[in-house]
Structure 1
Amino acid sequence: MNGTKLGRVSTGGLRAVVLAGLMLAGTPTLAAPQAFAFEVTAYKQALAESLGEEEGIAAFYRARNFDPIWTGADDASRARRLALIEAFGMADVHGLPTAKYDARNLLNKMAVARTERDRGLLEVSLSRLFISFANDLQSGIIDDPGRVDSQIKRELPRRAPADLLARLASERPDMIFRSLVPPTQEYSRLMRAKLELEHTIRQGGWGATVPAAKLERGDTGEIVVALRNRLEAMGYLKPSLTARYDSDMEAAVRLFQADHGLAEDGVAGGATMGEINVAPEDRLKSVIVAMERERWLNLPEGRGKRHILVNLVDFHARIIDDDKVTFETRSVIGHQEHDRRTPEFSDEMTHMVINPFWYVPRSIIVKEYLPLLRSNPGAVGHLEIIDARGRVVSRGQGFAQYSGSSFPFSMRQRPGPRNALGSVKFMFPNKYNIYLHDTPSQSLFSQTVRTFSHGCIRLDDPHEFAYALLAPQEADPVNFFQSTLRTGRNAKVTLDTPVPVHLIYRTAFTKAKGHVNYRADVYGRDAEIWRALQNEGVSLMSHWES
């Protein structure tokens, strides 16, 4: 990483420049005690005035009588300045906006600070830059993801500015900057993938795209050579001179399909060929967006020793124990229609309901069922119509007089084999009315793109999921669950220890071994996030000279 360039100077070369320049920064020559008193007042006045309404930073300086942490002549202040400059030199490695964190511009600011007033202004400027950098690297560049897409329900885990500055004042600055980096293996692997993709792009990419609609085992010719070359460049096939779509190429295509969420048939058909021909620049965008999303989940309290992770676009739900996947199952998520998409958020699973009622969401009642009931009171007879006191309403009176806004009733489906929620639902109570559940529509899990629900998440193996959740509190979780299920009665089962649930959206993600995995941006959210990052100054390979 020391070879990362900043203009024409590497971070290694920059260190020497910084060390030489910072020895003089912030140490004005003062002639007399009277001048000293005047200048100190000028420093404090400049510091206080420029802080304005930034209460967090202001509180930090007031608590230390406005003593500097950046612009002093002592070794500790120089070490902080050097650490900040070196951190800026690594901004692009993390996909941060390089113009915002320009090490040369920062050096120029330091070089022109000669008076105590200059020093006060510089002190505040450096603290602001540090807080901004810390926020961007630790918890995300985009301040409000919900403004990018209203279905991203996340508040960034920002740390208090005064706490960040207090740590910087009392701990080794190089260790502080290291601690800002999200500590997950996923973030480290994404960062490595970013560097590898940049290297690939500098070397010319993966070569020519493959101009074929379909290729399969037994095919020969130049078009197969083009596919061979592309798979070799991406690391899926060992170099060879073959012009035949042989067993090795078929195996390589299967592996590629697995890494891209495609049907693993070994045939390079339309969907597979489309993914094979995606440019490395587009993959790099996905990785940079994934790094930003990983920062959003850099929670101070962590994600939970045990937690549930649902990557919506991977169509899988997983139980994670001590950073290891201990259970996973396929999932179905909300349809692409805007009001049916599954939102992204985190909450805590507190209980499951065995033999659940399905309480029909108001939106479905108004849009789908009420129009049927208005013309035929006996329609959707598998559903009960209930009043505010939970009593079943007779259908004899008819419903033609009601509109969507005046319909006073709820609707529900009783427990049973045809219940829309199946035999169990898993609750993490939230204002979006999203939960995980069983489904009688098992055929949907054979599809590769599973966007069929009204927003909730359906599980392919809900019973096994329940057994895994119950294992810490039941000696025989299988028998406990099945005996409760056989009663046919609606039963709430509380989890002794609530389990954090994180609904995420990653079109690029890694595994401990193998290639980066990529998935389709089914809701278009990552494209929106990339545009938002560009607006913040993030760009592809911005630190490399043309």
Structure 2
Amino acid sequence: MRNFTFLSVIIAGSFLMFSFKSAKTDKLKNEIPEFENVASSNVFSFGTITAEEINSFFKKYPKLKMYQKDVEELYKKKEYNLIWYDDKNVSEFGALLYHKVKRLGEQGIKAEMPYNELVDDVFNENVSNKLPKTDTELLLSNMYVFYASNVYSGVDAQTLKKIGWFLPAKTVSYDRILDSLMQDPDRLNKDENLLFSQYYKLQDVLKRYRNIEKKGLWKKIDIDADTYKELRPFDSGTIVKQIRERLFVVGDLKEDSKNQIYDEEMMAAVLKYKKRYGLKLNYTFTKEQIDQMNEPISKRIRTIMLNMERCRWIPTELANASEYVMVNIPSFRLIYLKNGKYDLVSDVFVGTRMTETVIFSGKIDRIVFSPYWYVPASIIQNELKLKIAEDKNYLADHNMEWNGGHVRQKPGPQNSLGLVKFMFPNPNDIYLHDTPAKSLFDFEKRIFSHGCINVREAKQLAIEMLKDDPDWPIDKINNAMSGEKETTCMLKRKIPIYIGYFTAWVNDDGEIGFYPDVYDRDPSLDKLLYSDSVTMN
């Protein structure tokens, strides 16, 4: 397929002519039944517009004022040439974009553009009283900014900081995006240079779950709360049949045998389901887990939509990075990606509700083996002073000592940081570290720390990070982790780390995981986005 090509010729200093051909539009044409009626000319004749006309337009349509700055910038970059006209008609690309705006729900967006009824009239052949050409042109430019800001940007950077999202801000150039979309309209459907790849995975699952809802396949599982006992392998009954049906509907079972016995086939599906929900991997089904299955599918759909929004905030460069560490707080999971592949996946536990782990990014610049733990002043004030007052040997018994007016715990296997920590400078004094409290990883909801991230496979993470460094063979790492003295390794190449918050995540096999909203961030984001059907920007 050929891309759009532009051949510019200056005619009488007032119009710019473009030839415009593309086979790429065929695919999108098929999606729009009324497409053939919109614009048939292949020749663009761009007139011009003035800054005064733009200013007058926003006085006439004050509800679009929020887009004025971006629209003005768009025309400055286009040297005030018209964008949306093909000879005397609105261009085919304008029709394609209108079609995408009308189907914003597929993007998990409920926003509604002001004056949308006037935009509808532009593409309605039965409307005889058309708007002036200048009004139509600027209305469509506002439609584009409305679409791009909602789909490619999402919530603005200032609001993100207010809701505690401190990952790198995504920069968006509406002018460059428009150029790329006009050159290849197929990018309206998918473009991983514009949106984090996880977004499109969630979009596919959103479509699937809406189909389940539409067909009425999400049926309630009937239990008697007073008499229900944990369901175990080889139990039988109607409830087994109902759970089996649900596992089939959501894709954990390939076929629904209608069998009322909890057989081996269903056992494998139960493990798959529990893994997707971050539950302990066993074959029993508790009442709480049945209650979870009985949550309405509308809640699952909303969760998917909220996490699609979070994906809009992620710079797309992240997906193209060759090496980084990502921690997802709700899934209690750390991923170390190297050379484009998952090199290590580890369980973690994070901060309590009182000491939440902050959502931000940094760069790991050093690994400290057999570290000292310098006890934060807040812990000394709120916890240690009382314990020292009650037991004068408390510090010695816990391998602690005073050091320059501070309390620190000496290196060793019982050190609160374990035998290794990973440092990345940040104002919150948060880092990754090992822990002696390995039993805490057996809990499903792992919020135990004072804000730092405790890593189950901390030693293996250090080994993987230093695998290509000849100065740090495994024997040297083992010796440094003996707990005898603190040893620092400065990394030759800093490793980006991202601490994020996703309550739904789709893996490479298209399987979606739903995770607990441990810091209750979903309701506040839901209120921000969907309290009414208005634009997010």
Q: Which amino acid aligns with 2:113?
A: K
**1:414 matches 2:430:** no
Equivalent residues in 2 for 1:464-475 (5 A)? 464-474=460-470
Q: 1:324 to 1:27 in 2, by over 3 A?
A: closer
Does the 8 Å contact 1:145/1:153 carry over to 2? no
- 2:457 corresponds in structure 1 to 461
- 2:53 corresponds in structure 1 to 46
**1:208 matches 2:220:** yes
CA distance in structure 2 between the aligned counterparts of 1:298 and 1:343, rounded to whole angstroms: 18
**1:248 matches 2:255:** no
Q: 1:62 to 1:281 in 2, by over 3 A?
A: closer
Shift of 1:14: 3.8
**1:86 matches 2:96:** no
**1:313 matches 2:330:** yes
Shift of 1:185: 4.3
Equivalent residues in 2 for 1:506-517 (5 A)? 506-513=502-509, 515-517=511-513
Does the 8 Å contact 2:221/2:239 carry over to 1? no
Does the 8 Å contact 1:157/1:300 carry over to 2? no
- 2:251 match: secondary structure: coil
- 2:119 corresponds in structure 1 to 106
CA distance in structure 1 between the aligned counterparts of 2:115 and 2:223, rounded to whole angstroms: 42
Q: Which amino acid aligns with 2:416?
A: A
Does the 8 Å contact 1:303/1:500 carry over to 2? no
Q: Which amino acid aligns with 1:198?
A: R
- 1:236 corresponds in structure 2 to 252
CA distance in structure 2 between the aligned counterparts of 1:462 and 1:481, rounded to whole angstroms: 12
Does the 8 Å contact 1:305/1:322 carry over to 2? yes
Q: Which amino acid aligns with 1:495?
A: L
Shift of 1:537: 2.7
Gaps spanning 5+ residues in structure 1: where?
Answer: 3-9, 29-39, 392-408, 540-546
- 2:151 corresponds in structure 1 to 137
Q: Which amino acid aligns with 1:158?
A: T
**1:220 matches 2:236:** yes
- 1:353 match: secondary structure: strand
Q: 1:13 to 1:414 in 2, by over 3 A?
A: same
Q: Percent identity?
A: 23
Shift of 1:97: 2.5
**1:347 matches 2:359:** no
Counterpart among 170, 173, 176 of residue 157 in structure 1: 170
Shift of 1:194: 0.4
- 2:522 corresponds in structure 1 to 526
Q: 1:225 to 1:498 in 2, by over 3 A?
A: same
- 2:33 match: secondary structure: helix
Q: Which amino acid aligns with 2:358?
A: P
Counterpart among 381, 385, 398 of residue 402 in structure 2: 385
**1:16 matches 2:65:** no
- 2:221 match: secondary structure: coil
Shift of 1:436: 0.5
**1:198 matches 2:210:** yes
CA distance in structure 1 between the aligned counterparts of 2:144 and 2:192, rounded to whole angstroms: 11
Shift of 1:467: 0.6
CA distance in structure 1 between the aligned counterparts of 2:220 and 2:181, rounded to whole angstroms: 50
Per-residue CA distance 1:195-241 (angstroms, 9 max, x = gap): 00000000013212231542222322333333333333333343224
CA distance in structure 2 between the aligned counterparts of 1:348 and 1:534, rounded to whole angstroms: 35
CA distance in structure 1 between the aligned counterparts of 2:174 and 2:265, rounded to whole angstroms: 55
- 1:325 corresponds in structure 2 to 342
CA distance in structure 2 between the aligned counterparts of 1:306 and 1:249, rounded to whole angstroms: 38
- 2:10 corresponds in structure 1 to none
Does the 8 Å contact 2:418/2:434 carry over to 1? yes
Per-residue CA distance 1:425-478 (angstroms, 9 max, x = gap): 101211121110011111111222211111110011111100111113236531
TM-score, length of structure 2 as denominator length? 0.80
Q: 1:174 to 1:241 in 2, by over 3 A?
A: closer
Moved more, 373-382 or 493-502: 373-382
CA distance in structure 1 between the aligned counterparts of 2:506 and 2:161, rounded to whole angstroms: 27
- 2:6 corresponds in structure 1 to none
Shift of 1:84: 2.1
Q: Which amino acid aligns with 1:45?
A: E
Does the 8 Å contact 1:330/1:445 carry over to 2? yes
Q: Which amino acid aligns with 1:47?
A: I
Moved more, 61-70 or 367-376: 367-376
Shift of 1:316: 1.5
- 1:356 corresponds in structure 2 to 371
Does the 8 Å contact 1:145/1:154 carry over to 2? no
Per-residue CA distance 1:485-516 (angstroms, 9 max, x = gap): 34833222122111111112222111222632
Q: 1:180 to 1:307 in 2, by over 3 A?
A: closer
Shift of 1:98: 4.9
CA distance in structure 2 between the aligned counterparts of 1:290 and 1:189, rounded to whole angstroms: 11
Shift of 1:49: 4.9
Q: Which amino acid aligns with 1:100?
A: M
TM-score, length of structure 1 as denominator length? 0.79
Aligned residues: 491
Equivalent residues in 2 for 1:266-305 (5 A)? 266-300=283-317, 302=319, 304-305=321-322
Shift of 1:157: 0.5
Shift of 1:424: 1.0
CA distance in structure 2 between the aligned counterparts of 1:64 and 1:277, rounded to whole angstroms: 53
CA distance in structure 1 between the aligned counterparts of 2:482 and 2:154, rounded to whole angstroms: 48
Q: 1:477 to 1:261 in 2, by over 3 A?
A: same
Moved more, 188-197 or 101-110: 101-110
Per-residue CA distance 1:106-164 (angstroms, 9 max, x = gap): 2325778968xx444444443333233223222324654546633x3245403134544
**1:502 matches 2:498:** yes
Q: 1:343 to 1:145 in 2, by over 3 A?
A: farther
- 1:402 corresponds in structure 2 to none
- 2:3 corresponds in structure 1 to none
Equivalent residues in 2 for 1:389-404 (5 A)? 391=404
Does the 8 Å contact 1:148/1:528 carry over to 2? no
**1:126 matches 2:133:** no
CA distance in structure 2 between the aligned counterparts of 1:494 and 1:357, rounded to whole angstroms: 17
Does the 8 Å contact 1:50/1:121 carry over to 2? yes
Does the 8 Å contact 1:95/1:538 carry over to 2? no
- 1:332 match: secondary structure: strand
How well do the aligned residues superpose, as a CA RMSD in angstroms? 3.6
CA distance in structure 2 between the aligned counterparts of 1:324 and 1:70, rounded to whole angstroms: 43
Shift of 1:321: 2.5
Q: 1:471 to 1:46 in 2, by over 3 A?
A: same
Q: Which amino acid aligns with 1:229?
A: E
CA distance in structure 2 between the aligned counterparts of 1:494 and 1:264, rounded to whole angstroms: 38
Q: 1:209 to 1:141 in 2, by over 3 A?
A: farther
Q: 1:528 to 1:59 in 2, by over 3 A?
A: closer
Moved more, 98-107 or 309-318: 98-107
Q: Which amino acid aligns with 1:359?
A: Y
Per-residue CA distance 1:313-338 (angstroms, 9 max, x = gap): 21121111244211111111111x2x
- 1:66 corresponds in structure 2 to 80
CA distance in structure 2 between the aligned counterparts of 1:532 and 1:64, rounded to whole angstroms: 34
